[in-house]
Amino acid sequence: MQKKTVLFICFLSIFTVIAVVAALAVTTPAHAMSVEQAIAQTPTGMGPGQIDPAAKPGFLGIPGAPHPFWLYGLLWAVWVGWIFSTVGAFGGIMAGVGHITIFGLADFGRAFKKTSPALNKLITDSIRVSNQWLVGLSALISSTNYYRMGRIVLPLGLFLAGGSILGAYFIPVLTAGKIKLSSYIGYFGLCVFLIAGVLFYETTEKGQSKKKAAKEAARAFEASMKKKPTEGAAPSAELTGTKITSFSFTKVKFTFYGVEFSFNPLWPVIGGFFIAALASFLGIGGGFLYVPFLTSVAGLPMYIVAGTSAVAVLVGMIVSIFSYMVVKGVPVDFMLVGFELIGIATGSFIGPYTSKYIPDVWLKRLFVILALYVGLRYTTKGFLGYSIVPPF
Amino acid sequence: MDMPVIFKMVDPYLIWLYRITHHGWLDFFLGTFVLALMAVIIGEFTIALVFLAARHRIEQTTGDAVRYQNMSVDALAARDKQAYSAANKLANDAFGHTFFHQIAMSAAFLWPLPFVLAWMQYRFLEVDFPIPWTGYSVNYIAMFLLVYVVAYFLFKQVKYKIPFFRRIKVILDNYKNTTSEMKTLADLHPLENPKKT
């Protein structure tokens, strides 16, 4: 057990050190603009796209910016926590909707598109990192728990995290201070469509039948085990652990406690890179992409995938938050994050008590409709400049 | 940046912690350590309250997760791939439910941390902390997190000497006696776990 703990700590430390060293290597001259510098470049006045220095400071201390009132942040986070605990997904997206729309940050930032592009992009980056603080917390919790359950496989984690470090590091370095708020909202909308698709599949007959079949198979196994207990049924020493039976650059075959699995080692690296890049770009976790990717595309067992992908998300989030905040100097409204944590805690507790009154399938369908609305609104507003669904 | 009203009220007291010895580095570490310790204690207190409020629900969801997790390990031991995949899927679903309890619990523990960072942002945003012999520097966030980890482990040493936390420990110890232990893949290894196999 101690050996496993040391290995796990080493694993996380190595990647954190790599991230820190990589980030430090380019830290010195690459700092993005500070809030004060961005404000100084913005024309003063009372009109749109201008800053009135006498106005009350709001988000990030910018005069005249919307002040995400702590009660709104708290209440919205209760809603996010409730969604998270009832639907089991969509929480990161809803946190993003709060940061973009509910607190009025997108409309405020968009006003500076032409008059002060630096301020416009700084607000975009701050929204991205605020989301990632919340996602990173979830990843930290799930990684710790999967580790305790013995469900993290280090070699796969190495491949996956290797790709995810590259994605999570290069996206902030290449895009911080360069992405316009409208483009960010557009891509965010496309991602919402993707989640709506995954949620919808889970409510279809095919998605539901898989769960039913799993329950029946588990029940049958449980019944057979009552007749014949597993004590003494453990495989022999030669069969235990992960044993690689054949290795090539396109296929790794291994037995996992006597059961054979195989995967293409290039897939975790490529997938890790693109998923972490997308997650870092949008300020989301990407866990919802890792699991189906590794189970469907790479053909790995869920047992290995869920825990290991949680570590990949955690590593990706540490690298991405570090790259944005330390390498690129992007500011974050910590007060807002603090109130959101309290709200998420409250919502996550209320969720399980209320969800028993609403069938799981209908809850998910409700969120598919909500996701389609949010997706349509953000995609059209981001790429066309106007929303095709109300409010226009 | 102008401080919010709540920070203006506590700022004179918090900054006093940073002016005790009048030695820059020592004062910074002392002040940050006291802040980190307060964040740890408040977090430990609120997580304990949340746990007491929701313990029956936590027991139920954790029970399901443990049951399916153990079933998947048993199926693997029996080399039944189909039962293993099925139990594994159900274990993941059940784990999803416990996961959100853990999010709530962890948020209840970590919530003071962003507020401390928010206050420090107003005071130390422009300060660079050089890393000796490297020529590089880190900001206040890295320094605070480092001190926070130290404060967490130090408080852990004395936590159960406080009556309130001792009561929580009694409840947790009772769980260990009444619930089945969660099996891990290590339980399948006869050499490392001679008692269990």
A228 CB-near residues (< 8 Å, 6+ apart) = none
Q: Which residue has the higher pLDDT, A232 or B71?
A: B71
Average pLDDT over residues B64-78: 79
Is pLDDT of A184 > 60?
Answer: yes
Is pLDDT of A15 > 60?
Answer: no
- Within 266-285 of A, beta carbons closer than 8 Å to B belong to none
Q: Kindly state the helix (H) or strand (E) to which residue B34 belongs, with its residue range.
A: helix B24-77
Give residue A26's pLDDT.
Answer: 38
Give residue B116's pLDDT.
Answer: 93
Max CA pair span of chain A: 81
Give residue A64's pLDDT.
Answer: 83
How far A391 CA lies from chain B's nearest CA (Å)? 32
Is pLDDT of A232 > 50?
Answer: no
Is residue A312 within 8 Å of residue A140, measured between CB atoms? no
Average pLDDT over residues A105-112: 80
Q: Say whether A306 and B97 touch across the interface (CB within 8 A).
A: no
A75 touches chain B (CB under 8 A): no
Q: Rounded to whole angstroms, how far apart are CA atoms B40 and B148?
A: 8
Q: Rounded to whole angstroms, how far apart are CA atoms B35 and B145?
A: 11
Q: Say whether B104 and A151 touch across the interface (CB within 8 A).
A: no
Give residue B90's pLDDT.
Answer: 78
B49 touches chain A (CB under 8 A): no
Is pLDDT of A29 > 50?
Answer: no
Q: Say whether A221 and B95 touch across the interface (CB within 8 A).
A: no
Probe site for chain A from B99, B126, B149, B192 (most A CB atoms < 10 A): B99
Give residue B15's pLDDT.
Answer: 92
Is pLDDT of B169 > 50?
Answer: yes
- Within 350-379 of A, beta carbons closer than 8 Å to B belong to 351-353
User: Does the N-terminal peptide bond of residue A391 adopt cis geometry, omega within 30 degrees of 0?
Assistant: yes
Find the CB nearest B102 among A60, A145, A338. A145
B106 touches chain A (CB under 8 A): yes
Average pLDDT over residues A303-312: 66
Q: Say whether A211 and B93 touch across the interface (CB within 8 A).
A: yes
Average pLDDT over residues B152-168: 89
Beta bridge pairs of residue B148: none
Is pLDDT of B83 > 70?
Answer: yes
Q: Which two tokens stand for residue B15?
A: 């900054």
Q: Rounded to whole angstroms, how far apart are CA atoms B140 and B121?
A: 8
A326 touches chain B (CB under 8 A): yes
Give residue A19's pLDDT.
Answer: 47
Q: Rounded to whole angstroms, how far apart are CA atoms A334 and A78?
A: 17
Q: Mutual orientation of helices B5-16 and B24-77 as an angle, nearest 10°?
A: 110
The backbone torsions φ and ψ at residue A256, rounded to the nearest 5 degrees and listed phi first, read -115, 100
Give residue B181's pLDDT.
Answer: 62
Give the β-pairing of B129-130 and A242-247: unpaired
Residue of B nearest to A130 (CA): B114
Say which residue the tokens 């590091």 belong to.
A169
Is pLDDT of B47 > 70?
Answer: yes
Is pLDDT of B142 > 80?
Answer: yes
How far B170 CA lies from chain A's nearest CA (Å)? 22
B12 touches chain A (CB under 8 A): no
Probe site for chain B from A142, A149, A323 (most B CB atoms < 10 A): A149
Answer whether 0.90 is exceeded by the pTM.
Answer: no
Residue B154 pLDDT grade (very low, low, confident, very high; cuts 50, 70, 90): very high
A346 touches chain B (CB under 8 A): yes
Find the CB nearest B86 among A142, A218, A306. A218
Q: Rounded to whole angstroms, how far apart are CA atoms A282 and A125?
A: 10
Residue B39 pLDDT grade (very low, low, confident, very high; cuts 50, 70, 90): very high
Is pLDDT of B190 > 60?
Answer: no
Of A186-200, A217-231, A235-249, where does the model show the most confidence?
A186-200
Q: Say whether A344 and B103 touch across the interface (CB within 8 A).
A: yes
Residue of A nearest to B118 (CA): A334
Q: Which residue has the higher pLDDT, B131 or A2?
A: B131
Average pLDDT over residues B138-163: 90
Average pLDDT over residues A261-275: 73
Query: Where is average pLDDT lowest: A55-64, A159-168, B40-49?
Result: A159-168
For the stretch A188-201, pLDDT in tens is 888 888 878 877 88
Q: What is the mean pLDDT of chain A?
A: 72
Is pLDDT of A237 > 90?
Answer: no
Residue type, position B148, single letter: Y
- Within 103-132 of A, beta carbons closer than 8 Å to B belong to none
Q: Kindly state the helix (H) or strand (E) to which residue B170 belongs, with its residue range.
A: helix B163-178
Is pLDDT of A9 > 60?
Answer: no
Q: Say whether B111 and A341 touch across the interface (CB within 8 A).
A: yes
> Of the candidates B19, B26, B35, which has an alpha carbon nearest to the alpha carbon of residue B148?
B35
Tell whether the torsion through CA atoms of A220, A224, A227 and A230 is positive or negative.
negative
Give residue B38's pLDDT.
Answer: 95
Tell whether the torsion through CA atoms of A31, B126, A131 and B101 is positive or negative.
positive
Contacts with B82 from chain A: Cβ below 8 Å: 217
Q: What 3 state SS string does chain A have? A: CHHHHHHHHHHHHHHHHHHHHHHHHCCCCCCCCCHHHHHHCCCECCCCCCECCCCCECHHHCECCCCCCHHHHHHHHHHHHHHHHHHCCCHHHHHHHHHHHHCCHHHHHHCCCCCCHHHHHHHHHHHHHHHHHHHHHHHHHHHHHHHHCCCCCHHHHHHHHHHHHHHHHHHHHHHCCCCCHHHHHHHHHHHHHHHHHHHHHHHCHHHHHHHHHHHHHHHHHHHHHHHCCCCCCCCCHHHCCEEEEEECCCCEEEEECCEEEEECCHHHHHHHHHHHHHHHHHCCCCHHHHHHHHHHHCCCCHHHHHHHHHHHHHHHHHHHHHHHHHHCCCCCCHHHHHHHHHHHHHHHHHHHHHHCCCCHHHHHHHHHHHHHHHHHHHHHHHHCCCCCCCCC
Give residue B177's pLDDT.
Answer: 61
Residue A146 pLDDT grade (very low, low, confident, very high; cuts 50, 70, 90): low
Query: What percent of chain A is predicted at pLDDT more than 70?
Result: 63
Is pLDDT of A102 > 80?
Answer: no
Is residue A133 within 8 Å of residue B168, measured between CB atoms? no
- How many other CB atoms are there within 10 angstroms of residue A191's CB atom? 23
> Of the candidates B144, B157, B135, B65, which has an alpha carbon nearest to the alpha carbon of residue B102?
B65
- CA within 13 Å, CB half, B146: 10
Q: Say whether B114 and A338 touch across the interface (CB within 8 A).
A: yes
Q: Which residue has the higher pLDDT, A233 or B64?
A: B64
For the stretch B55-66, pLDDT in tens is 777 777 778 777
Is pLDDT of A214 > 80?
Answer: no
Give residue A244's pLDDT.
Answer: 64
> What would the DSSP string read from start to end of B79-142?
T-HHHHHHHHHHHHHHHHHHHHHHHHHHHHHHTHHHHHHHHHHHHHTT--EEPTTTS-EE-HHH
- CA within 13 Å, CB half, B88: 23
Is residue A123 within 8 Å of residue A109, measured between CB atoms? yes
Give residue B176's pLDDT.
Answer: 61
Contacts with A351 from chain B: Cβ below 8 Å: 100
Q: Rounded to whole angstroms, how far apart are CA atoms A88 and B103?
A: 12
For the stretch A308-334, pLDDT in tens is 767 777 777 777 787 777 666 777 888
Q: Which residue has the higher pLDDT, B66 or A152?
A: B66
- Within 78-97 of A, beta carbons closer than 8 Å to B belong to 81, 84-85, 88
Residue A62 pLDDT grade (very low, low, confident, very high; cuts 50, 70, 90): confident
B149 touches chain A (CB under 8 A): no
Sheet with A252-256, edge to edge strand ranges: A242-247, A252-256, A259-263
**Chain A with chain B: Cβ pairs closer than 8 A:** 196
Give residue A1's pLDDT.
Answer: 41
A323 touches chain B (CB under 8 A): no
Give residue A112's pLDDT.
Answer: 86
Is pLDDT of A231 > 60?
Answer: no
Query: Where is average pLDDT lowest: A33-42, A275-284, A373-382?
Result: A275-284
Cα B134–chain centre separation:
31
Give residue B67's pLDDT.
Answer: 82
How far A228 CA lies from chain B's nearest CA (Å)? 10
Is pLDDT of B173 > 80?
Answer: no
Q: What is the CA radius of gyration of chain B?
A: 23
Q: Which residue has the higher pLDDT, A248 or A77?
A: A77
Give residue B178's pLDDT.
Answer: 58
> Of the candidates A49, A194, A179, which has an alpha carbon nearest to the alpha carbon of residue A110?
A49
